[in-house]
Structure 1
């Protein structure tokens, strides 16, 4: 079925542009928080205790590792809270990398905290380590809760390892990771009741209570409050479902006041369809058409249980959303050429971008990588964009090259950068947008940099979790 590209139904509110310096400011705040924790530990005799007897030294190091682990855990909660400012500044790709790094770092610090505190306390009391650990868990206030929280965090960390992730469905992984909130909530309160660096200093209490409140408030507002309000206001329902090709389905949705939905082309939502059991598991789908036509459209490839259900949706089915997320947008495009590189279903957000960017004829080149002609989606819309808006569309079809490359085997004789210069001669002066599987996107981004594109003008959205 061919769908025409409709003009905007109504003027949209102008969305604010995110200042670029906010990224440096946000990263600076995170590092300052770590320095504050270190300063509070020093102020509470942390350094002096290092020069004492070995049990005191181990206990002091245990306090420091515990404080750093707590700070990183709360920073991780803020990263998970879907705060729009954080999402717009850093984007999902960078947040995912930071989330993983901070998660493993806080876990290792937490393990070091447990080991050092237990050995230090055992040395001071002249008892055996297993007996001291048992006493800490059973007799100290809040430690049973902390033990339960630690076990939940261990579960989250184990399922975050690449080997485990490859064996899990996205739905299962996403559900397990929600236990991270519960794990943090159970693991940290013992600090309030027994932590020397909490009970012994008014400045420490003020800092930690502020950080706790910020983390909890962000989750309640942005993960609970705003989605509830937004769904109550817009009341999205399935309008129609269209088969676009083998295993590829588009869903068109209507709702109220969609011109007030603060979304840009290229972004995605977490979607839940109220079509029966399993509706509580959200799935990330990008908009595949510009979001200012009075209709939202997503296009889903059948890759698993959740995505397979999309093809069976009926008109009138309610849809719940969280978002919008992602920074694969034209927010900072100030004119000039653009090169868009898509692989497979990654064409969907780029198709939406092409409908929204203000471009002169010939300024846009879309390079579409697919396994075969049958796998090319939205051929009619791409032809329309080529005819009416001067978009240059280049199809790269065929099996993958037998090396790490974004190219098909038929072009494997060229280097990745040289092939890109041939299909998009103006790439060095362009904003480059990429979307596709993780390994393909990494190779395509490397080719763009080698071909002369400025790293700050390369924008990615990877299909990875």
Structure 2
């Protein structure tokens, strides 16, 4: 670590360009469309609100409850549409940012749903002079479709809470996946009470038409681009397992083949949703990055055993049918815009990093790979990386408790590569490792726009 790395920069002409101005305009267009939708909902509320909507504290609370419910319901549709794989959204923004927006909206939606219930209960409490619990029961009994709405709301809150970091860390992917599928059931259960009990829909037929069109449009988008078309594409591009190869302690590669595998358009750094038709795998589809792009009819993924699904991959039998949906992700060489590229890998993150290193070499680059592992036995694909011409691989092996420091802290990185502020970085690995590496690079004055981290999630 005391020696300084010397790297010959590649030619700029062979590296990809950053996201185009057109893509940035697309992201702004999506934001503008969401903002316009919120304004439309505010307008729907305003044109149908009674003149005395804030005449008393009870009226004001009730009006706020109705407004928060309408805006929250609209943003729920937005959340669903962001990850419905609508082509225009993905082309304009990119899946990674859509997933980030989907998550960011989650807290706002939960707040609005809770505010909707509390404002209505407290408004009724002031108007009827009933205790809060009595007023809550009265609302359930007085308005149509409220019991189904209550069940749907509780289910939705459960889904939202399951995404909180502390809770999510304790749930298996399978449990989290099936919990999130109940979101569609929650939306269905809460929709009827909006039309039958919502004052702004009962009294205004135009609002009803607009609201029904919003929900029908959202449902159509989900059915079309998240279920029907992906299923047809997966069937046409179906693959089969060739073999499962142990790469290191806890890391395995799965080789796949299929008649149309090279037509998938997979790039180095992409991930796909894989559904293996085998015991223990059929119930869920998991995102895995490719470690070798399609070539000669074969594709490879390299997976760390970090959950129930990934731990069962060694049990796959050759010939098992596989449906793959994708490719997804923007962790690709096209994003590189600087001549000197640093690739930082940890755990199963070595898969996409290995593919990315090969692609950068093909484009004339000379990337440097920092490979973080707790022990030498966990350095999967190390030999492959070292054999790639033009790639410099630096294993950073050892536990922090043993080393007395973290090799990805700012000072060790500065000693290794003094001019990191002039580099561009791609990071893939465990979340904690990725956050530490990014923080260190920022501390060494690498601009955030030149730091890319992999996102292996659909929601």
Q: Same fold (TM over 0.5)?
A: yes
Asked if 1 retains the 8 angstrom alpha-carbon contact of 2:271 and 2:327, the reply is yes
- Say if 1:357 and 1:210 are closer, same or farther in 2 by CA, change over 3 A: farther
Task: Give the Cα–Cα distance (whole angstroms) in 2 for the partners of residues 430 and 88 of structure 1.
Answer: 27
Task: Give the Cα–Cα distance (whole angstroms) in 2 for the partners of residues 173 and 427 of structure 1.
Answer: 38
The residue that corresponds to 1:8 in the other structure is none
The residue that corresponds to 2:393 in the other structure is 393
Q: Secondary structure at the match of 1:396?
A: strand
- Say if 1:437 and 1:92 are closer, same or farther in 2 by CA, change over 3 A: farther
Q: Secondary structure at the match of 1:320?
A: strand
Match of 1:280 among 249, 262, 283: 283
**Per-residue CA shift, 1:217-244, capped at 9, x if unaligned?**
2211222012211111111111122111
The residue that corresponds to 2:224 in the other structure is 221
Distance apart, 1:374 and its partner CA: 1.4
The residue that corresponds to 1:428 in the other structure is 421
The residue that corresponds to 2:35 in the other structure is 31
The residue that corresponds to 2:85 in the other structure is 82
Matched, 1:444 2:440: no
Residues matched between the structures, number: 439
The residue that corresponds to 1:209 in the other structure is 212
Residue range with higher mean Cα deviation, 271-280 or 345-354: 271-280
Match of 2:199 among 196, 200, 205: 196
Asked if 1 retains the 8 angstrom alpha-carbon contact of 2:240 and 2:322, the reply is yes
Task: Give the Cα–Cα distance (whole angstroms) in 2 for the partners of residues 200 and 356 of structure 1.
Answer: 60
Distance apart, 1:189 and its partner CA: 2.5
Q: Secondary structure at the match of 2:335?
A: coil
The residue that corresponds to 1:352 in the other structure is 355
Matched, 1:409 2:403: yes
The residue that corresponds to 1:382 in the other structure is 385
Asked if 1 retains the 8 angstrom alpha-carbon contact of 2:256 and 2:300, the reply is yes
Task: Give the Cα–Cα distance (whole angstroms) in 2 for the partners of residues 88 and 459 of structure 1.
Answer: 19
Residue range with higher mean Cα deviation, 447-456 or 65-74: 447-456
Asked if 1 retains the 8 angstrom alpha-carbon contact of 2:420 and 2:444, the reply is yes
Asked if 1 retains the 8 angstrom alpha-carbon contact of 2:373 and 2:397, the reply is yes
Task: Give the Cα–Cα distance (whole angstroms) in 1 for the partners of residues 226 and 311 of structure 2.
Answer: 26
**Per-residue CA shift, 1:85-139, capped at 9, x if unaligned?**
5456655665454333322321222122122223434554565554443343234
Q: Secondary structure at the match of 1:82?
A: coil
Q: Secondary structure at the match of 1:291?
A: strand
Task: Give the Cα–Cα distance (whole angstroms) in 2 for the partners of residues 54 and 275 of structure 1.
Answer: 60
Task: Give the Cα–Cα distance (whole angstroms) in 2 for the partners of residues 99 and 137 of structure 1.
Answer: 31
Asked if 1 retains the 8 angstrom alpha-carbon contact of 2:338 and 2:424, the reply is no
TM-score by length of 1: 0.85
Distance apart, 1:252 and its partner CA: 0.7
Residue range with higher mean Cα deviation, 279-288 or 113-122: 113-122
The residue that corresponds to 1:329 in the other structure is 332
Structure 2, gaps ≥5 residues long: 1-18
Structure 1, gaps ≥5 residues long: 1-15, 403-407
- Say if 1:431 and 1:114 are closer, same or farther in 2 by CA, change over 3 A: same
Task: Give the Cα–Cα distance (whole angstroms) in 2 for the partners of residues 426 and 89 of structure 1.
Answer: 34
Distance apart, 1:355 and its partner CA: 2.3
- Say if 1:24 and 1:457 are closer, same or farther in 2 by CA, change over 3 A: farther
The aligned runs of 1:145-184 (5 Å cut-off) are 145-184=148-187
The residue that corresponds to 1:40 in the other structure is 44
Task: Give the Cα–Cα distance (whole angstroms) in 2 for the partners of residues 266 and 429 of structure 1.
Answer: 22
- Say if 1:122 and 1:415 are closer, same or farther in 2 by CA, change over 3 A: closer
Distance apart, 1:349 and its partner CA: 0.7
The residue that corresponds to 1:250 in the other structure is 253
Asked if 1 retains the 8 angstrom alpha-carbon contact of 2:156 and 2:183, the reply is yes
Task: Give the Cα–Cα distance (whole angstroms) in 2 for the partners of residues 77 and 150 of structure 1.
Answer: 16
Asked if 1 retains the 8 angstrom alpha-carbon contact of 2:339 and 2:365, the reply is no
